[in-house]
A and B are shown apart, each in its own frame.
Chain A
Amino acid sequence: MTLDSARFSRRGFLGLGVAAGVITLTACGSGAGASDAPLVMTVWGGDPDRKTYQARIDLLVKKHPDLKVKLQLIPGDAYPQKVQTMIAGGTGPDIMQVAESVNTYSSKGQLLPLDDLAKQAKLDPEQRFGPAGSLYTYQDKLYAIPDRSGAVTVFYNKDMFDKKGIKAPTADWTWDDALDAFKELTVPGKVWGYSGAEWFPQWWSLAYQNGGTIIDAQGRPAVDSDEVVEALQWAGDLVFKHKVVPSKADYADMGPDIGGDQAFPNQKVATHANGFWVMSGLTKVKFGWDIAPMWRGKKQAVSAFGSGLAISRTSKQRDNAFKAIDFLTSAEAQKVIIASGQDVPADLEVQKSQAFLKPSWMKTDVDMGVFAESSAFVFRAPFIPEWNQMIDTISNGLADFWLGKERSAKKALTAVQKDLESLIKSGA
């Protein structure tokens, strides 16, 4: 600006602001990428995850020297925001890790349907991954290839079970068998028989075992059905009626950020149901432990934790991106996931291989076959576009229930059902 306008007015200043605003607005819409640039792959996690993903990418590049992949690791809780801003800024990734919120992206047109690419590459998800193969299919379109997928398993403290003369849990335990064992194992105020009732993957397993669903086949919420109510009531009673599961207050007294994953290695709970990652806290413990498949209700059903790899619609190199995903989810690259102890690979062949059943880092004898066994009865969780709102609605609606202030699962779920109905208006 010239010096004559040295004392420039408020209006002029605001005008500059408007100009900057317009620049901000337009900057959000553009962005280009050269086609020989490396593929950008975003994943979440910490340093061990980075090493594992990088090792798999190194294998990929060795096999396909024409591919270049740049790995971008983002800490888990910032992942959605970071990817969101990358896409909004026009520099979205080519390959992105997705999980439960897959259809938040797909419903907003951010993911490429992969059916044709998979057909061309002769990749049959059902054959490679079992029931998990269709986990990321929404409205008949495949949006991600499963990459990591481990069922919830039951971790149990062998020493405590032996001391009480209780047989190891099996897939054929009924709810009554489980409750009897938990009562037996509980030492009031000191040791709880079980932990892992409250988190949604845990009590949803019970609901699906009981024949219920969270979202029904027509895409409508169905949490107030008798089956779901009965399952939640049973889970709630474990905490407040039978007192075989620590309550929130009990956990808070154990220390900040303590939940079942920490209480089990500390021998505060005898049994715990959760994902593969619990093992990382168990490598140095002094007591004997093992895993078992989740028990059963009217039928067998269990949640799984995992993630898939998807291609962003803005990707300029779709074929190369799929070639990379195809290799990363093949047995050869998936072996790295278990060899490093990161997670359960989704590939069924690997789950049954010796590399998975006897990983070199496992010091004790753990029945790793449980994962392959469980993957047969993993239920299909409702990955709806409104996933985040749904989870918040459910956890807010059940907050009082898990505090023991509202003891009736029926009442709590009726209220949640109403909220979910106003949230999910469109039936799929």
Chain B
Amino acid sequence: MATSTAPKAVPTAAETPPSPRKPKLSKRRRREALSFYLFISPWVIGFLVFLLGPMIASVYYSLTDWDSFNPPKWVGFQNYVTALTDDPVFWKALGNTFYYAAISVPLGLVLGLWLANLLNKQVRARKLFRTLIYLPTLIPLVATAMIFRMVLAPNGPINDFLGLFGLSGPNWLLDGPWVKPALILMSAWGAGAATVLLLAAMKGIPRELYEAAEVDGASATRQFWSITLPHLTPIIFFNLIMGLINAFQIFSQVYILIPKGKNPAGYDAAQTMVPLLFDQAFSYYRMGYASAISWLLFLVILVFTVIAFRTTRRWVFYETEVK
């Protein structure tokens, strides 16, 4: 994982020192460098033109009032001020996004860890189980959302199942407070992706450690907490960062599971940041405002990612570091 250098790299290599004119490169080195630039150029050009360029353009647009048709009008920080002080929908969407991220990400990790641990056991047909658990992640999101609309129907399978215990299930996708749990439920269904990564990492833990622990008389639980889990922390960290970013940017699930036109109550209850900025940009023609929202979302994601990185030293364990 490339993330390992981040915390301690601060003082030394951060700024490239103003180097004196470098000595001429040998012919072979020049050719090597040339092919490096040649081969990396598709990515660099793509990144500059389709990502960094538009990103920087959107900084400008976020400071304007722009309907995407007429020339943008400079308004300074007005869009940011409006979003933060005068738009209840913005705060509601942000709250919904936090709610979703705060539950779905840890839930996905715990579930993935649990499933990986189970699949690592010497059970019969475990290859079949591994396939089955990974399978949901291969199904296109649209199909998944359609299935979940049926599963979560008021008289659908989930509520029928709850009915067996005498519980009357809610109208998942229609009833305000239950829409976000429904989205989280759907995200949990995709835990297979994390499971596979964790399982692969589990396979990589040296057997000797367990053998030694067994000799010392450590129980299976103790082995899990003291050997398995510490070895998995880099993977857990990776999944945490990816999960956070994806959760903050949740869009398609909302868009398909609770379409605004057909289910305004559900959409209203679970509108998250990206659907909000999509509406502003492409339905209300407030491109400038939408750009401002996207930068605010960027800041939010940045803050949480930085927090996650800052804490790595305390809980992420890299085998290579303790030699």
Contacts and interface: CB of A to CB of B under 8 A. Distances in A.
5 contacts: A19-B48, A20-B54, A23-B53, A81-B282, A84-B69
Interface in A1-47: 1, 3-4, 6-7, 9, 14, 16-25, 29
Interface residues of B, number: 47
Nearest to A388: B283
B150 A21 contact: no
B69 A109 contact: yes
Contact of B60 (A21, A85, A255): A21
The 5 A-B residue pairs whose C-beta atoms are closest, nearest first, are: A20-B53, A21-B56, A399-B265, A17-B52, A395-B264
Given A17-B48, A253-B153, A399-B265, A104 B279 contact: no
A109 B68 CA distance: 12
Contacts of A85: 68
Given A108-B285, A249-B174, A88 B68 contact: yes
B177 to A, nearest CB: 11
Interface of A: 1, 3-4, 6-7, 9, 14, 16-25, 29, 80-81, 84-85, 87-88, 104-105, 108-110, 248-249, 252-253, 255-257, 259, 388-389, 392, 395-396, 398-400, 402-403
Contact of A108 (B57, B69, B283): B69
A403 B154 CA distance: 13
Contacts of B154: 249, 252-253
A108 to B, nearest CB: 5
B89 to A, nearest CB: 9
Contact of B149 (A17, A88, A256): A256
A396 B258 CA distance: 13
Interface of B: 16, 22, 25, 30, 33-34, 37, 48-49, 52-57, 59-60, 67-71, 146, 149-150, 153-156, 171, 173-176, 260-265, 267-268, 279, 282-285
A148 B46 CA distance: 43
B52 A252 contact: no
B53 A21 contact: yes
A24 B25 contact: no
B265 to A, nearest CB: 3
Contacts of B149: 252, 256-257
B68 A84 contact: yes
B87 to A, nearest CB: 11
Contacts of B48: 16-17, 19-20
A400 B149 CA distance: 20
A25 B265 contact: no
A109 to B, nearest CB: 6
A418 to B, nearest CB: 13
Contact of A104 (B30, B173, B285): B285
A399 B264 contact: yes
A24 B53 contact: yes
B60 to A, nearest CB: 7
Given A21-B55, A80-B283, A108-B285, A9 B16 contact: yes
Given A248-B174, A253-B153, 8 more contacts: A20-B53, A22-B57, A109-B69, A256-B146, A256-B149, A388-B283, A392-B279, A399-B264
Contacts of B268: 396, 399
A384 to B, nearest CB: 13
A257 to B, nearest CB: 8
Contacts of B68: 84-85, 87-88
A18 to B, nearest CB: 6
Contact of B33 (A3, A17, A257): A3
B282 A80 contact: yes
A164 B267 CA distance: 40
Q: Among the interface residues A1, A17, A22, A400, which one has the most CB atoms of the partner chain B within 10 A?
A: A17
A104 B285 CA distance: 9
Contacts of A248: 171, 174, 263, 265
Contacts of B156: 253
A389 B284 CA distance: 7
A399 B262 CA distance: 11
Nearest to B263: A248
A259 B53 CA distance: 44
Contacts of B25: 3, 6
A16 B52 CA distance: 9
Contacts of A20: 48-49, 52-54, 56
Contacts of B57: 21-22, 24-25
Contacts of A388: 283-284
